[in-house]
Amino acid sequence: MSERSFVRLEHDGPISTLTIDRQDKLNALNAQVVAEILDAATEVRTRRGVRALIVTGAGEKAFIAGADIAGMKDMRLEQARSFAQAGHSALYALEALPVPVIAAVNGFALGGGTEVALA
């Protein structure tokens, strides 16, 4: 388990909850958030006794408002490609978990937020 700034992973018995907490940006996905989702999914996969994972967004306005477009505007082609690939890896890690993953959608779920909910 590593230190995370924007993703909280809490365990309550057999239920784990992954919360995206970047409320000032409507929980938008940037490279750090995507990496933290992957890290949290890896922790859930290796933690004994987890029977389900709930994924949600902090606050009441947005589950995840999609990718952080402001953070992407200055990316070069290779950086954008790397960001997209990292996003795919994080979503696949959620999809591939051996336990049910439940999206508790609490507000906007746009673009990448919808993809997270579907994963």
Residues 6+ away with beta carbon under 8 Å from 7: 18, 19, 20, 21, 33, 36, 37, 39, 40
Q: Encoding tokens for residue 115?
A: 């993809």
Using one digit for the tens of pLDDT, what is the confidence trace for 1-57?
568 999 999 999 999 999 999 999 999 999 999 999 999 999 999 999 999 999 999
Percent of the chain clearing pLDDT 90 (strictly above): 93
Nearest-10 crossing angle of helices 77-95, 31-46 = 30
The predicted structure's pLDDT at residue 38: 97
**pLDDT (average), residues 98-106:** 97
pTM higher than the cut 0.85: yes
> Residue 88 pLDDT > 70, yes or no?
yes
Could you give the domains of the chain?
A: 7-112 (3.90.226.10)
Q: Encoding tokens for residue 49?
A: 């006794």
